[in-house]
Structure 1
């Protein structure tokens, strides 16, 4: 039972990450608020996912929070 839950959580996280990456690809200037709306994640959930993507070297932020944009590194 535990392994099934782990696999389900892993797949859900994977789908969320892919959704966020797709949003960033389609609009590099997307805001966290817009990501929250599209993914139905909390602000903290969006922040955590973006931090993990940055840590994994998949994205980076260029410029300021207000006028910057996201760059895909993969």
Structure 2
């Protein structure tokens, strides 16, 4: 989450390299965060960016 907040255009491969896990594991985490409404993709796969959704309770 912190890396995406700093650079929202990072790919799964770039995130995996920085974190030290496999790209497949990053994709699983991203899918879970999208399902929970924490993370949202804005725009196309190429040229788009990730948006961290702020939850207000």
Q: TM-score range by the shorter chain?
A: 0.7 to 0.9
TM-score by length of 1: 0.69
* Correspondence for 1:69: 49
Q: CA deviation at 1:41?
A: 1.1
Matches within 5 A, 1:36-55: 36-55=16-35
Q: Which 4+ runs in 1 deviate beyond 3 A?
A: none
Q: Which ranges of structure 1 fall in alignment gaps of 5 or more residues?
A: 1-20
Task: Indicate the structure (1 or 2) with the bigger Cα radius of gyration.
Answer: 1
**How many pairs were matched up?**
54
TM-score normalised by structure 2 residue count: 0.88
Q: Tell which has more relative contact order, 1 or 2 (C-alpha 8 A, sep 6+).
A: 2
Of 39, 49, 52, the residue aligned with 1:59 is: 39
